[in-house]
Chain A
Amino acid sequence: MHVIVVGLSHKTAPVEIREKLAVPESRLREALTRLCTYPGVREGLLLSTCNRVEVYAVVEDLESGYGRVQEFLADTHLSLSSEHLTPHLYWHAGDRAIGHLFRVASSLDSMIVGESQILGQIKDAFEVALTHKASGLLLNKIVKKAISVAKRVRTETKIAETAVSVSYAAVELAKKIFSNLTEKTVLLIGAGEMAKLAARHLIANGVRQVRITTRNFQHGLEVAQKFNGTAVPFEDYKTELAGADIVLVSTGASHYLVTADDVQRAMRQRMSRPMFLIDISVPRNIDPAVRPIDDAFLFDIDDLHMRVEQNREDRLREAAKAEQMVVEEVAVLGQWLQSLEVTPTIVALRSRAEDIKRREVEKVLARLTHLTSEDRAAVEALASAIVNKMVHGTMVTLKTEATSSSGAAYVDAARRFFNLEEAQPAYPSGQAEGQEIPERNGPGHEATGFSEPSLVQHTTKEPGRRGR
């Protein structure tokens, strides 16, 4: 059994390919059902966003599994063929596939590192897979873990703390001038898209007073309505300055609308209350001579861009910490997956049974000191027989189900029923595959000699880009 991912993202495929592969929400169900009908595909999850299309699957055989999933992807769009896709795809299996999902969920693989949307999209994709029973024991555990890893990254690093859009950078700067935005007034001179976006961010951060002035008063009224603000005539914008704590200018004017004198006058009226001026227009609409004026803080589009660039670098620094967390978490999950292997489970089960038997026999024999050595042997044999008969059925089932689709579930159940979680695999898994288990035949013990191939294989082997 192998956990694999086959997919493409903004890093490997242009939008022309991504848009063709993208599966709309309405067709997700149908696509998932189709995926699971491919022979050898046990579990499936389809993640389709505007930046990536990925199929996570549990397959029986690695090579054919990769092929099936690639076929599935090519089949989603008529104009695509498998060969077309090959140069854009990546294939990962085992720990690498899991690590990839963790990185995607933690937004380490996103176009904007640290953005939060992707986690929601993964949750949605998982929800769909769950309702259509496309995902099973393995994927469920892995995706749930991915979600918790993403949350850990979010809380333990500062990956999502800083602004990485120009409009949000304006809010971030405002917060370094005003500790509380609720009582502040924003004046929008001109209502360009970016200014509106910035205004929306400011409102989301508490600003309640929004005043808007545009050359076209009607347009100003419309925008004002959207923001629950007030429209003011364009002729009055200079007198409005004094009452504004935050001024957002974005008009198409080719000259300076706000001069140093205007700001100086406003500052006098404001009695030195700080004023934050943002000029998002090109050509600029606020005279740069405003900069040296005390308590007036002017930032133009380049300043905001610079801030965003710095924040991106900060995020990448935080991303390095997050990568480390992903490695740790993959290792943790790897341990669980390893526990799902049949052979170590059988060994653990046997040693557990042996352990219980030995303890109980010792306890009884310590009390019955009058027994002859034959009697003692008989007691021991009795105990062995009971214990072995008890676990025998479980072992046979595990052995026969090992190759079935629900094999992992049986192993998981056996581990829980017999409380094998704390018991370590009896020997390193590398040794386990294809090796005879040392037998300990007690009296009355049936030599079973289990030697199962492990149920889940951890492939770190990278198949590379394959053409077909």
Chain B
Amino acid sequence: MSSVFFMLTMGLYFVSTVCYLAYLLRRAETLSKVSLGITAAGFATHTVALLARMADTSQAQLPTFHEALSFFSWMLILVFLAVEFRRQLHVLGSFIVPLALISLVTAAAFRSDEASTLQPVFKTLWVHVTLSMLGTVGFAVAFVAGVMYLIQDGLLKSKRFNVLYAKLPALDYLDHLNQQSIVMGFPLLTLGIISGAFSAEIVRGTYVNWNPEQTWAMVTWGFYFAVLVGRLTIGWRAKRAAYLTIIGFAGVILTLIGVVLKSHGSVS
């Protein structure tokens, strides 16, 4: 059942992505309502898919990359719906929903029904994956806010007052969204890394062994730490913060690739 709903979700997110991208270029405000409706429907089927998946798998199984990405995508849409509900920031959907779709499609590529059964001690791994993914959601939103900031900044500087300019919110709001997302994402990632280290100690008897996943995770963590401290102390905000969070998100992607390499056994 989970796979049916999963495919349905993918279809809905795809349609909603198309609608939201069309919304970017069109004046029609109704398009945003249609897109939001489809996204909400997709979110509902996604929730069902996740619950069904949870019912199927026992806690003794190793969390898979597929589940992690699917959860990431779900959280991303949840955050979007929350922001949209509070601020009516329709244009955010044009950026977040495509991202959620990409991660869901990637998740689909890694879908496998055979899960390796592990000893109960590996419950900590679930904590690790959940926290890391929540942190990643924060950075993804910061990334989106950064991209939107740079676009709006560019439009204002070049004085191109087009449809996109009209739809994007004020610069300082985007900067605020960027900051909030990192402030929320960073502690979650920190906890995710710590719980990961504990898991590694249980599995391999060592906290850190500098495989690509761990290396990139540490680099990313250090980077965001610097971004956060820089913002709070020496004013790394606005355009600079936007650039930094975009670079940081690239680090997050590399970490995830590291995870994939590890799970495919090419790296231990």
Contacts and interface: CB of A to CB of B under 8 A. Distances in A.
Given A272-B240, A274-B238, A175 B170 contact: yes
B22 to A, nearest CB: 19
Top 8 nearest A-B pairs by Cβ distance?
A: A271-B235, A179-B170, A179-B173, A295-B238, A272-B238, A272-B235, A177-B171, A272-B237
A450 interface: no
Interface stretch (B34-42, B139-147, B156-164, B217-225): B156-164
A179 B175 CA distance: 11
9 contacts: A173-B156, A177-B156, A177-B170, A177-B172, A179-B173, A179-B176, A273-B237, A291-B157, A295-B238
Interface stretch (A17-25, A79-87, A302-310, A457-465): A302-310
Contact of B172 (A173, A178, A271, A291): A178
B169 interface: yes
A295 B239 contact: yes
Q: Which has the most chain B C-beta neighbours within 10 Å: A180, A274, A297? A: A274
A437 B176 CA distance: 75
A271 B175 CA distance: 14
Interface in A341-387: none
Contacts of B234: 271
A21 to B, nearest CB: 40
A45 B238 CA distance: 57
B5 interface: no
Interface of A: 173, 175-180, 270-274, 291-292, 294-295, 297, 299, 303, 306-307, 310
Contacts of A299: 159
A166 B159 CA distance: 15
A292 B236 CA distance: 18
A432 to B, nearest CB: 42
Contacts of B237: 271-273
Contacts of B176: 179
A295 B165 CA distance: 17
A310 B176 CA distance: 29
Interface size class of B (residues with CB under 8 A): 20 to 34
Contacts of A271: 234-235, 237
A202 to B, nearest CB: 14
A177 B170 CA distance: 5
Do most interface residues of chain A lie in helix, strand or loop, or is the interface mixed? loop
B152 interface: yes
A307 B157 contact: no
A177 B169 CA distance: 8
A273 B171 CA distance: 10
Nearest to B235: A271
Interface of B: 152, 156-157, 159, 161, 165, 168-173, 176, 234-240
Contact of A274 (B159, B168, B169, B172): B172
Contacts of B173: 179
Contacts of A179: 169-170, 172-173, 176
A292 B237 CA distance: 17
Contacts of A273: 235, 237-238
B236 A272 contact: yes
A79 B238 CA distance: 65
Contact of B159 (A177, A295, A303): A303
Given A176-B152, A177-B156, A294 B238 contact: yes
Contacts of B238: 272-274, 294-295
A307 B170 contact: no
Contacts of A270: 235
A303 to B, nearest CB: 6
B170 A178 contact: yes
Nearest to A181: B170
B159 A306 contact: yes
A176 B170 contact: yes
B257 to A, nearest CB: 32
- Max chain A Cβ within 10 angstroms of own Cβ: one of B156, B161, B165, B237: B161
A294 B239 contact: yes
B171 A176 contact: yes
Contacts of B156: 173, 176-177, 297
B170 A297 contact: no
A283 to B, nearest CB: 20
Given A177-B172, A271-B234, A306-B161, 19 more contacts: A173-B156, A176-B165, A176-B168, A176-B171, A177-B156, A177-B170, A178-B171, A178-B172, A179-B173, A179-B176, A180-B172, A270-B235, A271-B235, A272-B235, A273-B235, A294-B238, A295-B238, A297-B156, A306-B159
A147 to B, nearest CB: 25
Nearest to B87: A179
B161 A307 contact: yes
A274 B173 CA distance: 12
Contacts of A292: 157
A380 B164 CA distance: 74
Nearest to B165: A176
Contacts of B159: 299, 303, 306
Nearest to B241: A272
Nearest to A176: B170
A173 B166 CA distance: 10
A295 B237 CA distance: 10
B59 to A, nearest CB: 44
A307 B162 CA distance: 10
Nearest to B234: A271
Nearest to A270: B235
A274 B238 CA distance: 7
Nearest to B175: A274
Contacts of A272: 235-240
B182 to A, nearest CB: 16
Contacts of A294: 238-240
